[in-house]
Amino acid sequence: MLKEEICPDKWRFKWRSGFFSRLIRIFALILIALLFLGGFVLALEKGTSRQLVRILAQQSFPFQVILLEGMPGYSMPEREYLHEVRSQGLTMGGFLLTGVNVADPRTYFLSYFPPTEGPMWMGWNYNPADPEFEGEIPELEEIPIPLPPVEEEEPPLPLADEVLVGIYHTHNAESYAGEGDGERNKNGEGEIIEIGQVLKEALISGGIGAVQARDHHELDEFNTSYSRSINTARTLMKNYPSMKLLLDIHRDGLPKGMPKATVNIDGREVARVMIVIGQVNPNWEVNEAIAHELMAIAEEMYPGFFVPRITYASEARYNQHLMDGALLLEIGSQLNTFEEGKGAAEILGKVITQWLKTTHLSPE
């Protein structure tokens, strides 16, 4: 009688139900931890951990968010900011573990239907050794670009022996969506071409001869872009044999919902620049050495301007086999604004000018 009063059946039921709910929560946490570890190990084996390293290297840890989370009263004015940080954390975590971006439904079925064209930011997740979608190199063909008929013979190229930098754009439709505009231009005249123009003008203003090819290479087939741009690169080399740098200018692509990367230089927010090296090239280490020299000069002049780690593509070449000094540069991402990209191009021009004056134009 006394035992039943002290521990009635309904109390036993509540205790058992509470025990089982706690057990289920513990089991769920263990399962999530195992999935996380399994995904991380798989990423290391497949090479997709580079995406993790590259993205995390560009982020700053929001310690202030942890403090605000523990002070509800003080954090009320910052609720919108806290919500944004939480959303970005969820987006980044889900993308790195699964390749799915919760903010973009197009990514839900990519395991079954890999993309043949945009959104191209998924390159790192599905093609870690070829993030810019060059394709199978042995199968690459140099596709000629149709040229308009020339009615009369063109005059000799001016100052051909003074040009030190050539600029072109394999993915000419890339644009910046940081202000709500589209990520790509359907007509092929992406904002990345204007970024190349800004870079060329910055070099010329610094006394460096530079040219830009504005050819379209994507046309109707994105995955054969490099088969077309190689013709442009070779034409630049033929017309301007004095070139020391041949730059393929892109903008990077990241999942929606992730924070963009900028750096403050002289009171102005500009996009950061990342260098990509294709390793299917017997002399790729020469390009790597040039990249390190550029990054070292930039770090002295404008700390934080370059992403500190070079991105390596072990199964691609990106036309970099054509000459020493051929580099692929990612000026910001689609998350940046056009103005941030222009600011980065101006700074990049100053860095390249300093490098050329130090290495190739020093007085004898």
Domain count, the chain: 2
* Residue 364 belongs to some domain of the structure: no
CATH number at residue 308: 3.40.630.40
* Residue 3 belongs to some domain of the structure: no
Residue 239 and residue 328 in one domain: yes
Residue 230: closest CA among 248, 244, 252, 245: 248
* Residue 172 belongs to some domain of the structure: yes
Residue 201 and residue 307 in one domain: yes
pLDDT of res. 66: 47
Domain hosting 65: range is 10-126
pLDDT of res. 219: 74
d(CA 247, CA 318): 11
pLDDT of res. 349: 97
Contact 104, 115 (CB under 8 A): no
pLDDT of res. 360: 79
Residue 194: closest CA among 166, 162, 172: 172
Residue 60 and residue 196 in one domain: no
* Residue 5 belongs to some domain of the structure: no
Segments in the chain below pLDDT 70: 1-20, 36-161, 255-257, 362-364
Residue 26 and residue 62 in one domain: yes
Residue 77 and residue 19 in one domain: yes
Residue 205 and residue 119 in one domain: no
d(CA 95, CA 124): 11
* Residue 339 belongs to some domain of the structure: yes
Contact 307, 263 (CB under 8 A): no
* Residue 131 belongs to some domain of the structure: no
Residue 101 and residue 122 in one domain: yes
Number of H helices, E strands in the chain: 11, 8
pLDDT of res. 160: 61
List C-alpha distances in Å: 8 to 1, 13, 14, 363: 10, 9, 10, 96
d(CA 217, CA 226): 7
* Residue 4 belongs to some domain of the structure: no
Residue 109 and residue 141 in one domain: no
Residue 209 and residue 83 in one domain: no
18-48 pLDDT per residue, tens = 666 777 777 777 877 777 666 666 555 554 4
* Residue 151 belongs to some domain of the structure: no
Residue 118 and residue 221 in one domain: no
Residue 101 and residue 209 in one domain: no
Q: Give kind and range of the element (H or E) at residue 99.
A: none
Residue 191 and residue 117 in one domain: no
d(CA 121, CA 38): 24
